A and B are shown apart, each in its own frame.
Chain A
Amino acid sequence: MKRKPKITVATFLLFGMFLGVTEFHAQAAPPPVKKVSAIQVLMIQSEEVKLPAEFQISLYENLIKQLQKQGGFEHIYRDGDKTATGDVVILRSTVRGFKKGSEMARQVTTVAGKTSIDVHCQFTDKDGATVLENDVNGKVRFLGGNLRATLDFAKKAAKITRENFSMKSGS
């Protein structure tokens, strides 16, 4: 009989915690991103990391190609395009980590020689306000040259972009 108040208190505490957690989650959830008809891709930046020029260009070109391939946007503008107007989201990508592996090591040993690129993707609106941020990794483990890591990144980044901003995406 003496246990009853304790149980009641514990139940209230648990209920309170549940409510608090729910409320916290509700606050932490990012605001729903606006669907747009166009995207502008800026040139990949690599201020912190020394990135060979061919990787920088390959990241940029593959990203644009994958966005075109996966569809969902009426216009895909390049960096510096003067015709980029209207409802457009801007994608800025910054390389945060880069490890140039070895194709030969991959083919000879199978386990060594991985090439990996970590890129921070920031989506902003035309006023510069951040809408979404995401870290995307591109890597090549087995087959293919080192530049194939940029294709892996591009596929992942294009998928994220399509899911979050494309009017034609399911969500």
Chain B
Amino acid sequence: MRVVSRKVTIGFLCLVFSPLAVSSYAQQPADAVKVVQVMGFADVKANAKGNLKLENGNLQFSDSKAKSEVSITSVDDVITGNDSQRVFRGTFGTMTLLAPYGGGRFLSLFRSKLDTLSIQYRDAGGGLHGAIFTMPVGKADPFKKLLVAQGARTSVPIQDDSNNTAPKAGAAKEQKP
């Protein structure tokens, strides 16, 4: 009886703690982030949706069609920022602009916030490239920390990043001659 009850207890404990084991496993590839590659990354098409992750010292973007990567040590600068975009985008978004009674304008008011990650990297010949990614809010800063920890350089310290990338009200105004 004792052996059976022990087995039951162990089984019960395994069941109780199994979600924790699964969540820790889920955190393992937390450096993979769903992004939209706006422009500039290797040979990826503009506005391609995919996953951005750090693997074997490389910054890797992969979508359903292609996979391309850049060495993290070749990254000269990483800067994060924030922006917003229309909830209704693409062809449907354009068509909403034709909606009667200002319906399209009304729908334009619905916007979602997002983070931007801008990187500058050099190719084998020393040529400078720039790439822009957008990702869900709150994902850019942790990703930048990971990148910097693995050897990427940045011109803006991590804690000051959010303050510096957003243009200040005075600075953003057009300069008059």
Q: A residues touching B (Cβ–Cβ < 8 Å)?
A: 43, 48-54, 56-58, 60-62, 77-83, 96-100, 103-104, 107-108, 116, 118, 143, 145-147
Q: Mark B128-171, 1 if CB is under 8 A from A, else 0.
A: 11111000000000000000000000000000000001111001
Report how far A106 CA is from B65 CA in the complex, Å. 35
Partner of B130, one of A56, A82, A108: A56
Chain A residues lying within 8 Å of B131, measured Cβ to Cβ, are: 57
Comparing B2-10, B20-28, B55-63, B115-123, the segment that makes contact with chain A is: B115-123
Chain A residues lying within 8 Å of B83, measured Cβ to Cβ, are: 54, 146
Partner of B129, one of A51, A78, A96: A78
Chain A residues lying within 8 Å of B123, measured Cβ to Cβ, are: 78
Chain A residues lying within 8 Å of B86, measured Cβ to Cβ, are: 103-104, 107
Question: 16 additional contacts, CB 8 Å, given A48-B175, A82-B125, A96-B175?
Answer: A51-B167, A53-B81, A53-B165, A54-B132, A58-B132, A60-B128, A79-B128, A98-B167, A98-B172, A104-B86, A104-B109, A107-B97, A107-B108, A108-B105, A145-B85, A147-B38
Size class of the contact patch on chain B: 35 or more
Chain A residues lying within 8 Å of B85, measured Cβ to Cβ, are: 103, 145
